[in-house]
Amino acid sequence: MDTLMQFGTGVFGTAWPAVWTLIKIVLIVAPLMLGVAYLTYAERKVIGYMQVRIGPNRVGPLGLLQPIADGVKLLLKEIVVPSGANRFLFVIAPMLSLAPALAAWAVVPFTDTLVLADIDASLLYILAIGSMGVYGVVLAGWASNSKYAFLGAMRAAAQIVSYEIAMGFALVVVLMVSGSLNLVDIVQSQQKGTFADMGLNFLSWNWLPLLPLFVVYFISGVAETNRAPFDVAEGESEIVAGFHVDYSGMAFAVFFLAEYAEMILIATLTSLLFLGGWSSPVAFLPDGIVWLLAKICFMLLFFLWFRATFPRYRYDHIMRLGWKVFIPLTVVWLFVVGIWMMSPLNIWK
Amino acid sequence: MFNDFVAPSLYPAAPEIFLLFMACVILLVDLGVKSPRRTLTFVLTQLTLLGCAAITLLTSNTEVVYTFSGMFVDDMMADLLKLLVYGAVMLALFYSREYIQDRQAIPKGEYFVLALLATLGMLVMISANHFLTLYLGLEMMSLSLYAMVALNRESAISTEAAMKYFILGALASGLLLYGMSMIYGATGSLEITEVGERLYTYSVDKSVLVFGIVFLVAGLAFKLGVVPFHMWVPDVYHGAPTSVTLFIAAAPKLAAFAIVMRLLVSGLITQAADWQGMLIVLSVLSMGIGNLVAIAQTNIKRMLAYSAISHMGFMLLGIVTGVVGGDARFALNAYSSAMFYVVTYVLTTLAGFGLIMMLTRAGFESDELDDFKGLNKRSPWFAAMMMFVMLSMAGIPFFVGFFAKFSVLQAVVAAGYYWLAVAAVLFSLVGAFYYLRVVKLMYFDEPKIQEPIEGPLFIKVLVSANGLAVAALGLFPQFLMSLCAYALMRSLT
Amino acid sequence: MLENYFPILMFILVGLAIGVLPVLMGWLLAPSRPDSEKLSPYECGFEAFEDARMKFDVRYYLIAIIFILFDLEIAFLFPWATVFKDIVASEPMRFFGFIEVAIFLTIILVGDAYAWAKGALDWE
């Protein structure tokens, strides 16, 4: 490692820290992009098997090259910019959608030392940058100058902001019990408690005492990403593809990337906030990044499972669930946890 | 980590806390009230204000008490002004009851809740000892008032007035905040008394400070509605439902007086030389333009709006003349004359708009000057009341308005601004013309319609009492004057 | 301290670049043969009836306004929640620190209850 540092300083001089950061960023983004690509593959395979089909199996062994083929195909498709569209906003919208989904990863810790930017306000940063995603959606719908896109964008935006409140309240409660905005501290605070002392770490993680919030947070995450069963905004059978109906080729692919990167992000955050991150479920096994990856895959499986099994929600039901069930529930649980922490039964000392 | 924490005393803010609690309760209770008259909501609202008055009286003492780390102050001036605010709001709500009943489009329950929240904003303004508290109260009041102006949703003119009020009000808030931030930059404190002390002890960056004062005064002028920041006043008075005009014309003036006193006198008295010049210009322009333009009005609400502009200009004279050239001998006299002026103006305005609303009926707004023609033939008693109001506003002896003007002029002369006193008298004479014109219309013109004024007996009694108070206070002004002086003396040491 | 934020800035730039690059590549590699039919906005094969920048339901505004209120509320709760453990641990702050936020939350809940009862949260 030291020799690498010396070599880098020798070659790049004072610019080396920046280059080194860039290398680290690439080391995060490249696997992430690969993950996104194979998440689409996994989605089709998993749903295929759930519906007693085989899924893609032609391109490469077991269809493993399918995502690559899709990418190349999209790359060679024409990017149509409709005549009535606002060209600048139309082109910039997919980028505004993807950039926040990626930029949030800057503060995500993979183990207690393996983190690109270990800042104190990492959760605040994620909340802030996560809220930016809605701009891409609204701008895309507006810029397309198509009724389907516009309706889809309005619906998607209202849905995203609605569920953001429930997510925010859930985060507040997580903050209350962990006492820090730093994601590393939040993960580490979950490794203390009665059960952890007995060696059963997984029962000390936040998911158990904060079970309602864990469920609300994850379901809100599904709604935030406009995934099934909350995908009315892009319901194919109702308003074709929603806000990106007029996008084609690579511009469409960028939206696609953003959606799947967002899914992985939500799964990762759920793992970090509620499932103990990289810590192992039982004390006799060592902690490590493997556990985090396993938890992310586990949460991602839920995304696919929902899509395969649930019928699409009606839009008024979605809004009712967000405003009239989740928000009251999270606020009540905030009070419950507050009183719990003040009572002698407090388990978060 | 928080072991040296001491919980702030909630005692000085008890009326505000009670009012907030009751406003929330009434908002929820009103959801269950189905009757179109909303009697329960109305009674609860009035009881709340009574309760606030009781709490203010019980917790009142002659000391100046600070709480919330110096953000909030409770002194005699605050107590007196708060009591007057409760009174003005209660009267305004009594007068509005029939008016809003006759107008289907106005949501009834929300009207009272918004009035209570606006009152809460006024209370916070009155007790503010911190730029942020002051701004909080101001916005609380303003936002409620914007909504109240727009309450009559079917009326295009109301909506337009609300829009104008909102946009200009937002601009004024911006100016005020900008001025506050400049003063914070110059002195390093947001606490008003602390700012005063620092200006006294340290030397500060004069240019930043004056810059801040200019913006602060402009923001205040917007909120007071004095020339050249008066454009919204006539439109809002005219466009708002008359009951809301009454509300805006009365209690908020008391709160505006309080923030002028807090900001300019408690905070920036050492810089009096800087803001006095600006206030003199504002005041002379307001008296001039207000009185002159009022002559040309045919709508009595617009006329009273311009009259309000000129009255606010006159009131500013009292504030200008407090400390002249470092000489504070006459300060108490000057400030208490300004306070007396505002209080009597509010009282007179309440009676005036109360009478205007008595003349309205369902589907008929009686806001043209012509509607007052021959009022004497229709109802001699209420014509006499209206005459009292007009004569008092004109400053005819011996009505209360006369003593208000007289005491302010005394302060102006004592401060040595003879030309200012002469100008004020001249403009008041101009103003007398349009007030007397209303009297002439009532007594010497033939009525267009004959039927006498109708309304619930209680409201008639209340309006009469209000009108008689205008006359009675003119005969015995001494009590109210010394009350104002005493409250200020206890607060301004 | 601030240098910890430098990687974040770079990450945001890289994120933007990853958004820009594919579109740029697509624009370079893909064919471009526009015609008026292809460029018309999609409306199931019909000619577009009218401009898409049309009036839309006022509920979206309502949702947006209520969202802003709640989002601000959450932003105010963040610092409190971060130190809540310390608040609980310190004897003089204990109840005051909790009750104060409880009142803060209750006020917005009253407003929410009002909006709920008035039907602002309903989508028929």
**Range 30-49 of B in CB contact (< 8 A) with C:** 31
Q: Is the pLDDT of residue A298 over 90?
A: yes
Q: Is the pLDDT of residue A238 over 70?
A: no
Of residues A165, A163, B31, the one with CA closest to residue C116: B31
CA distance A134 to A152: 12
pLDDT tens-digit map of A182-192: 999 999 988 88
Partner-chain contact B2 C86, CB within 8 Å: yes
Q: Kindly tell me the number of DSSP H helices and DSSP E strands found in chain C.
A: 5, 0
Q: Is C100 on the interface with B (CB under 8 A)?
A: no
Q: Quick one: angle between helices B156-187 and B131-149, nearest 10?
A: 170
Partner-chain contact C83 B5, CB within 8 Å: no
Residue recorded with tokens 């007289």: B406
pLDDT band at residue C124 under the 50/70/90 scheme: low
Tell me the chain B residues in contact with residue C97 when contact means C-beta distances shorter than 8 Å: 2
CA distance C63 to A153: 14
What are the domain boundaries of chain B? 8-492
Per-residue model confidence (pLDDT) at position B13? 92
Q: Is C96 on the interface with B (CB under 8 A)?
A: yes
Per-residue model confidence (pLDDT) at position A290? 92
State the DSSP H helix or E strand holding residue B154, giving kind and residue range, or none if neither. none
Q: How far is C60 from chain A (nearest CA, A)?
A: 7
pLDDT band at residue A8 under the 50/70/90 scheme: confident
Per-residue model confidence (pLDDT) at position B26? 94
Which of C40, C43, C68, C82 would you mutate first to test chain A, the one with the most A CBs within 10 A? C82
Within 8 A by CB and 6+ apart from C46, the residues are none
Q: Is the pLDDT of residue B219 over 90?
A: yes
Q: Is C3 on the interface with B (CB under 8 A)?
A: no
Q: How far is B2 from chain C (nearest CA, A)?
A: 6
Per-residue model confidence (pLDDT) at position A239? 60
pLDDT tens-digit map of C44-63: 666 666 676 777 888 888 88
Which of A98, A108, A232, A265 would you mutate first to test chain C, the one with the most C CBs within 10 A? A98
Per-residue model confidence (pLDDT) at position C50? 67
Query: Are A40 and A227 contacting, i.e. CB atoms less than 8 angstroms apart?
Result: no
Per-residue model confidence (pLDDT) at position C26? 83
Out of C23, C32, C98, the one facing A250 most closely (by C-beta) is C23
- Coil vs helix vs strand at B299: strand
What letters, b where the CB count within 10 A reaches 16 and e where it falls short, cover B179-204?
bbebbbebbebbbbbbbbebbeeeeb
Partner-chain contact B31 C87, CB within 8 Å: no
pLDDT band at residue A137 under the 50/70/90 scheme: confident
pLDDT tens-digit map of B94-113: 999 888 888 888 888 899 99
Per-residue model confidence (pLDDT) at position A74? 85
Q: How many CB pairs under 8 A join A and C?
A: 232
Tell me the chain B residues in contact with residue C111 when contact means C-beta distances shorter than 8 Å: 27
pLDDT band at residue A127 under the 50/70/90 scheme: confident
CA angle B426, B431, B436 (to 5 degrees): 130
pLDDT tens-digit map of C77-94: 999 999 998 888 888 888
pLDDT tens-digit map of B454-475: 788 888 999 999 999 998 988 8
Q: Is the pLDDT of residue B85 over 70?
A: yes
* Residue A325 β-bridge partners: none
Query: Are B102 and B361 contacting, i.e. CB atoms less than 8 angstroms apart?
Result: yes
* Strands, E assignment, A99-246: none
What are the domain boundaries of chain C? 58-117
Q: What is the DSSP letter of B424?
A: H
Per-residue model confidence (pLDDT) at position B4? 80
| Rounded-to-10 torsion of CA B322, B323, B328, B333 | -10
Tell me the chain B residues in contact with residue C110 when contact means C-beta distances shorter than 8 Å: 24, 27-28
Query: Are B149 and B126 contacting, i.e. CB atoms less than 8 angstroms apart?
Result: no
pLDDT tens-digit map of A84-100: 778 888 888 888 889 99
CA distance A131 to A100: 8
Report pTM: 0.89
Out of A24, A77, A323, the one facing C121 most closely (by C-beta) is A323
Out of C6, C23, C94, the one facing A254 most closely (by C-beta) is C23
Peptide bond into B398 cis (omega under 30): yes
Out of B4, B7, B31, the one facing C117 most closely (by C-beta) is B31
Q: Is C105 on the interface with B (CB under 8 A)?
A: no
Per-residue model confidence (pLDDT) at position A241? 66
pLDDT tens-digit map of A254-297: 888 888 999 999 999 999 999 988 988 888 888 889 999 999 99
Out of C15, C63, C86, the one facing A99 most closely (by C-beta) is C15
Q: Is A53 on the interface with C (CB under 8 A)?
A: no
Which of C93, C94, C95 would you mutate first to test chain B, the one with the most B CBs within 10 A? C93
Out of C90, C110, C113, the one facing B2 most closely (by C-beta) is C90
Q: Is C87 on the interface with B (CB under 8 A)?
A: yes
Find the mean pLDDT for residues C98-106.
Answer: 91
Ramachandran class of C57: left when φ > 0, alpha when ψ lies in -120 to 50, beta otherwise: beta
* Other CB atoms within 10 A of residue B153 CB: 12
Per-residue model confidence (pLDDT) at position A143? 85
Q: How many CB pairs under 8 A join B and C?
A: 36
Per-residue model confidence (pLDDT) at position B28? 93
Of residues B61, B40, B44, the one with CA closest to residue B52: B44
Asked which of A147-161, A207-221, B162-176 is least confident by mean pLDDT, the reply is: A147-161
pLDDT band at residue B33 under the 50/70/90 scheme: confident
CA distance B402 to B391: 9
Find the mean pLDDT for residues B303-325.
Answer: 90
